[in-house]
Structure 1
């Protein structure tokens, strides 16, 4: 009898091992199949990135800043690298706005996942901290392009998936995909979370939403997409409830931690106010549009207003096409935050960069176009994107 029990137990363990290996094998096959489908899209995306960075390199040779400085040390990149090297606790004194009291810019305004990954990888690789940051950005942008292709393909077919990736890689603000910024990592998490939602993998989507919520405050868009999709799910069960609970944990967890660090429950939002960031319901965008209409602004501000207006038009076109609920919620919340929060108009395009879903109408339209039309369209977009990016990073403007 004892021998029989031992035999049954051994057989059960063997069966579990075989089942685990089988699941692992299925997962590997799925990943490899997805990669083979996305190879052309990834090649086209990398070509866009190489050409864009090369254009910036040519411009940098005419300035007193190196390519590494332009991509790795400018603007917010310095804050992210500071967190990666020294942890949180940095602050700069700032003058008061409108004659008000002086305040402090604190690094608590920046979310921890990207600098945390940079720090962890830098301890494993024989590279400088900025080299590690740029490497992670490069890898993240490729993973993002892969996820964008996967989502576009499952929604409208492989051709649309390919065109969606190219359009995202040729956005005017696409140069940020090559900088020491978290936008590429954030977009990758959003893309794969939305793909998981569309393919009905709620738990996977919610876990990716946690990571997105630890990367950018715009993580609220993908968190909202997961929660609302779960709430509206036709079949409710343990997985649905778990997704609703899990998805906001990253975003809320960082808010709580920032509150503990500042000693105030709403400390994160106090920090953002010091950075002159608050909800203004689009007043800053309206004011910038008025200045552009008056004709007394720079070319960068004109382009930024045009990009925001184009984003709003694309949002309307997307909603008219009746995409899945997850895509609707993600796009609406992301645009609402990007437009409805105060800040310099030139940073608005960066907030819209993860909104690749806004490009779905354009990709589906171009999927019906002739090859010559596609070639001319992408040539024009590439010229605008590369020239805009090179001018932006070699100027004094902050994305």
Structure 2
């Protein structure tokens, strides 16, 4: 009896060690596979920042202030320093800017980083953003590798790093944080890890207003799997890894972050369901089915001379085209839902026309068709294409931070 008990104890003993060791080696292997892509991404972003730094010094400004203490970064700094509650009267009639428009995850991470490392806001904010950008690049690689292989995944990361407005990835902004949460949430969905997908969707929903796109992708993908389960009458359907309980958990978790913050702001405003949207309207930001975007395009045609306007039109048009290609490529449902929601929010929202490329920055799956095509092209063609895009990214990113008078 005692011998039998002893056998069971010793059999159970090493199991957690093997699980931990297996997880460590899987993560290590995934990071090693992504290493070349992350190195190329770092080279692309460092080149862009170096170019911007030289021009900033030439014009007598400090590059760190441009990256970490301009436009929305100032609002995040106020939230970090004083919490929520700042309201500023806008220049236009009816404009009343409240910091409640800014979601809480990024300020919380910056505040925690400051407390641990004793850094100022700018340094802490940039550290969080750069770390998030690295995590985002790794997550983008993981999604690309799963769908199209290592070569296409590397090119996908590189394309994301040389977008014309990629300088935002290096700023004390929240786009890199949202992209990191979104990329790993989508990867978790593709891998059938529904609880992880739901938890990451919660974080995405706490990072930015358009983080609702991640919740929509996870919840709708889970709903589709539930329908498939019901049709198959098979409780042990393979890709679900853990059955219906985890599937339901992921679906129900996903919208909690975004909904929780919106309801909290609504309660502060005296209207739980509509208060947050009133805050956004006072900023001039609301959904008008693209009317404001159309007026901005028309103003460009009749003679507006800002370089940012034609670039915004080009990026928006290209994003729509890439979404059509993504549809034709029969991309997985969660990626299509995610990109569709981001496109609708970015192109259908009023005001902040010049910021629309930034709102689309997390929509990295739109680059999948281009990355897959480049993976089949000759090396010389790839090098020329990436080099041209990198040059455009360096010049336009520098223009956005040092010359342009509108927010990126």
| Pairwise CA distance, 1:136 | 1.1
Is 1:238 matched up with 2:282? no
Whether the aligned pair in 1 keeps the contact of 2:41 and 2:161 (CA below 8 Å) is yes
What is the number of equivalent residue pairs in this alignment?
Answer: 391
Give the Å deviation of 1:23. 2.1
Partner residue, 1:151:
143
Match 1:319 to one of 324, 327, 330: 327
Deviation at 1:139, TM superposition (A): 1.0
Counterparts of 1:199 and 1:192 in 2: how far apart (Å)?
Answer: 10
1:205 paired residue number: 197
Please list the CA deviations of residues 315-357 of structure 1 after superposition, one character each: whole Å capped at 9, or x if unmatched.
Answer: 1111111011111111111111111111221100000000000
Q: Deviations over 1:24-54 (max 9, x none)?
A: 2221111101001000000000000110000
TM-score, structure 2 normalization: 0.92
CA shift in 2, pair 1:268/1:52, >3 Å: same
Structure 1 residues 113-152: Cα deviation after superposition (integer angstroms, max 9, x where no partner): 0110000011000322210110111111111101101100
Secondary structure at the residue paired with 2:288?
coil
Partner of 1:165: 157
- TM-score where L is the length of structure 1: 0.94
- Displacement of 1:89 in angstroms is 1.1
**In 1: Cα distance, 2:308 partner to 2:302 partner:** 15
Question: Which of 281, 284, 294 does residue 276 from structure 1 map onto?
Answer: 284
- The equivalent residue for 2:378 is 370
TM-superposition CA deviations, 1:342-395 (whole Å, max 9, x none): 122110000000000000011011111111111111111011111000011112
2:305 aligns with 297
Q: Distance in 2 between matches of 1:154 and 1:185?
A: 22
In the aligned structure 1, how far is the partner of 2:37 from the partner of 2:246? 33
CA deviations 1:177-201 (Å, max 9, x no partner) are 0000011111011001111111111
Alpha-carbon separation, structure 2, partners of 1:109 and 1:14: 56
Q: Which residue of 1 aligns with 2:259?
A: 252
Aligned mates of 2:13, 2:290 — CA distance in 1? 56
Q: Deviations over 1:271-319 (max 9, x none)?
A: 0000001111111221122222223231111111111111111111111
5+ unaligned residues in a row in structure 2: which ranges?
A: 230-242
Task: Tell whether the 8 Å contact from 1:186 to 1:354 is kept in structure 2 after alignment.
Answer: yes
Gaps of 5+ in 1: none
Per the alignment, do residues 103 and 287 of structure 1 end up closer, same or farther by CA in structure 2, a change over 3 Å counting?
closer
1:134 aligns with 2:126: yes
Q: 1:130, 1:14 → 2: CA distance?
A: 53
Q: Quick one: distance in 1 between partners of 2:52 and 2:12?
A: 54
SS of corresponding position for 2:89: strand
